Amino acid sequence: MMKKNRKKPPIILALNPSAKYLGIAIFKGNELIYWKIRKLREKGKGPDKVLTKVEEKLLKLMADYEPEIVIVGHPSRLQLKNSPFLRLLLKEIRKLAKRKNHLIIPLIEARKHVCKDMKPTKMNTAKIIATYHCPWLYRRYEKELKKEIEGQWWKKKYHTVLFDAVALGLHCYEKISRRTLSPPPEAKSQP
């Protein structure tokens, strides 16, 4: 009996940076194996110390899980315009991600992938992920839904950065499995 030569599922590190939080999701194939929300802002710590701490945490995650692909959600132009810290954070993440195959895609692209025919909002993305992909995250979705139902739509939706990171990972995996996602072009060396 001959063994089938099966390819191991890729490890994908999905990062969703925002001005206050970093959503992190790690996939083995299409299975979510690690998720976390990192608080970025701390009283008394300047941007340099915060960026150093983020770099340490990401390097540890990369060493522990050894992802083949790092995918980063690109914030909107308005978010980047209004937050100098977010621009610095994105630059730092890009620098770290260059060590691996990395992709930076607009967040809306991942939301559209997850939401299919629904409007690609943060809450619709969270609902679909919590209902169909990762039911163990449903309680986190309910917390965000409660804010909306109680008319507190203006309160920061803490868990949505996590759901967006999960959406990025799912989107990336599907594109890889369909082979429609190509790694970034290699830098050409000058002779």
pLDDT tens digit sequence for 159-184: 899 999 999 999 999 988 887 554 44
Which of 2-16, 66-80, 95-109, 140-154 is modeled with the greatest confidence?
66-80
pLDDT tens column, 17-49: 988 899 999 999 999 999 999 988 777 788 888
Two tokens at 109?
A: 């692209």
pTM value is 0.84
In whole numbers, what is the pLDDT of the chain averaged over residues? 85
**CB-based contacts of 36-39 (< 8 A; 24+ apart in sequence):** 36/162, 37/158, 37/159, 37/161, 37/162
Instruction: Report, as an integer, the average pLDDT of 66-93.
Output: 89
11-177 belongs to which homologous superfamily? Answer: Ribonuclease H-like superfamily/Ribonuclease H (3.30.420.10)
Domain ranges for the chain = 11-177
Q: What is the pLDDT of residue 4?
A: 52
Residue 65's closest CA among 134, 10, 104? 10
**CB-based contacts of 137-144 (< 8 A; 24+ apart in sequence):** 137/35, 137/162, 137/163, 137/166
Q: What is the pLDDT of residue 6?
A: 58
